[in-house]
Each structure stands twice: as structure tokens, then as C-alpha cells.
Amino acid sequence: MRSSFVPFVYLRLLCAKIACCIVLFLFVSESRAQQYPSLFWEITGKGLSQPSYLYGTVHSFDSNAFRYVPQIAPKIAQADMFAMEMIMDLQNINFAELMQHAMMSGDTTIMMLLDTAEYNKLNRYVTDSIGLPMMLLTKIKPFFLMAMLMEDATTKDAARFLDDSLSQIAKLAGKKVVGIETMQEQIGAIDGIPLREQARMLMQEVDSAIANSSSAEMDDFIGLYVAGSLDTLHAIYMEKEFSDAFQLALVVDRNHRMADRIEKYLADKVRMFVAVGALHLPGDEGVINLLRKKGFTVTPIKLN
């Protein structure tokens, strides 16, 4: 079975890619005050005897996304625990159960969620992209199909995606590796987006891919990610008009869950290295601000 049936790996990458259509806007932000100038942050205060660390990742196999790994690896080695969004243990995933979650219930199909012209466009694009006709995929939830299409268009010149590579560094250093979220929670976040909203997002992705090279858009985003400023990434995200359902299910609720669980681990005086999607970190409802509200001091660390 294709690993693309595990779309939670690509949730943050998806948000970033959709936003890339307005990438030129970002360079205007260079003159603004930088609230979130780094991908890498130190967590202190609230009785912690030693610092913990927070790093914003991009769920990508593009080797350019790995540029800062040599700088952050020593901090992983110093930590007691490595935490990522979710442990990707493909050997222990129940794919039959996952496929049940990936399928729309009842007699609902993608064809019912789109008009004829949209469906025909989707069918052509899917057939050209992954070599399968829509008639074989028509019961798959639009968000899962979107993840499949994105994975197919993503540069893959590294053996593992960035988050997984960082977890391997932690494992080789003998560190405990935990997932902040469960697979069920991430799938539940997807189900929090109505199917018609998912279908609308799917067609936006297809239209964008047809109008522009998907790989070129991702190259642009990786370049911005490597520049190392969360302010820049957050600016393009905020310019895009996501639905309230999307914002609540995939961003706000998950950010609060992440911050709550990081706080719980830190309460046990565990030195942590936390690696989550970069777009979870900035903003009023971002993990950085939520940890500050809980009494921690969260300070940027400059990356060279």
C-alpha cells in the first residue's frame, strides 16, 4: 500500500504549499518587526533546572530542508526525550483501520461533492499524476486524496522526511521518542473539516498545480523555510483565507493540544527536544505564545 494513505505526515506541508501562491508578498515583511525570527527556540522558566528546545520542521523529503540539522543535533543529544507530532511507525499501523477512516461513509462519492466540470478536471489530473482513474478513488475523502497528490509532487532526495530523520538521531542517541498526538487525533482533525470544504480545497490544489509547477512551488517554500524566519512563513499563511472549520480543526485545536502535552512533560522536569511543523509555532494561537501564557520563557536561538 502506498504510504500516501498516511496524510497526517503532510498536513503542515499542505498548508504551506497552498499559501505559496502568494509567496512574493513575503518579501514585504522584511521591514516589519520580527516577533518570530527563528525556527529554533529555547524553553526555560517555570521551575525548569535545564532548558528544553522547540524546533519548527517542514514535513519534507527535500534535502534542502535538512540544512540546520547539524546545528540542532547536539541539543537532541542533550535532551532526555524527543517529541514529534506523531510517531510514524508504519510497521505497526493497522492499514485496514486507516483505510476505513480514509473512506467516505454511506453512498457519498467525490463525484457528489463536485460539479461535472470539476470532476472531469480532477479525473484528468489524477490520472496524469498518479496513473489511476478517479473511478478507483472516488470513495476516498478529498483530504486524503489531496495528500496523495501532494506526496507525488514532492521532491524526494532524502531517505526520510525531516521529522523522521530527527527522531532517528534521537533514537541513535538512546533518547526516548514520543508522539505528542495520536493517529486517531490527527485523523479526527481531518474529519472536523466538512467534506464539501475538503472538496473545495482539493480543487484549489488541482487548479494551483495545473497553473503552476507543484515542484517549483515547493522549491519556493523550502527556500523560504531555509531562510529560517517563522514571521515569513506565518505571513503567507495568514494571507490565505482558510475556513473557520479548517483553522479550528487543523491549527488551533492541535496547537492547544501540543502546548498542553509539552507542559505536562515539562512538569516532570524532563529535558525535551520538541519538533513540530513550523506553522504550529507562531501567532497568538501558536505553540510559542501558548507556552508563554503557561508561564514558560520561550526565546529564539539564532541559526547560522
Reported as a single tens digit per residue, the pLDDT across 263-273 is 999 999 999 99
Mean pLDDT, rounded, for 23-41? 61
Quickly state the pLDDT bin for 106 (edges 50, 70, 90). Answer: very high
Residue 178: its H or E element: strand 176-179
Q: Does residue 123 belong to any structural domain of this protein?
A: no
Asked if the model's pLDDT at residue 147 lies above 60, the reply is yes
Quickly state the pLDDT bin for 148 (edges 50, 70, 90). Answer: confident
Q: Does residue 268 belong to any structural domain of this protein?
A: yes
Q: What is the pLDDT of residue 121?
A: 96
Q: Does residue 38 belong to any structural domain of this protein?
A: yes
Mean pLDDT, rounded, for 121-130? 92
Query: 150: Cβ–Cβ under 8 A, 6 or more apart, which residues?
Result: 10, 13, 14, 17, 205, 214
For residue 159, with 0-12 CB atoms within 10 Å meaning exposed, 13-18 middle and 19 or more buried, which class applies? exposed
Asked if the model's pLDDT at residue 115 lies above 60, the reply is yes
Q: Does residue 146 belong to any structural domain of this protein?
A: no
| Residue pLDDT, tens place only, 209-262 | 888 755 666 777 888 899 998 998 888 888 777 788 888 888 999 999 999 999
Q: What is the pLDDT of residue 286?
A: 96
Asked if the model's pLDDT at residue 295 lies above 50, the reply is yes
Find out whether 268 and 34 touch, Cβ atoms under 8 Å.
no
Q: What is the pLDDT of residue 247?
A: 87
Q: Does residue 203 belong to any structural domain of this protein?
A: no
Q: What is the pLDDT of residue 19?
A: 36
More reliable by pLDDT, 94 or 290: 290
Structurally, how many domains does the chain consist of?
A: 1
* Average pLDDT taken over every residue of the chain: 84
Q: Does residue 138 belong to any structural domain of this protein?
A: no
CA 277/CA 296 separation, integer angstroms: 20
Mean pLDDT, rounded, for 15-36? 44
Q: What is the pLDDT of residue 25?
A: 33
Half-sphere exposure of 297 (CA within 13 A, CB side): 10
Q: The domain containing residue 291 runs over which residues?
A: 3-103+158-196+213-301
Q: What is the DSSP letter of 207?
A: H
Mean pLDDT lowest among 67-71, 123-127, 196-200, 237-241 = 237-241
Residue showing cell 473557520:
244
Bridge pairing between strands 52-57 and 40-44: antiparallel
Asked if the model's pLDDT at residue 83 lies above 60, the reply is yes
Q: Does residue 118 belong to any structural domain of this protein?
A: no
Q: Does residue 9 belong to any structural domain of this protein?
A: yes
Quickly state the pLDDT bin for 33 (edges 50, 70, 90). Answer: low
CB atoms within 10 A of CB 92: 6
Find out whether 81 and 271 touch, Cβ atoms under 8 Å.
yes
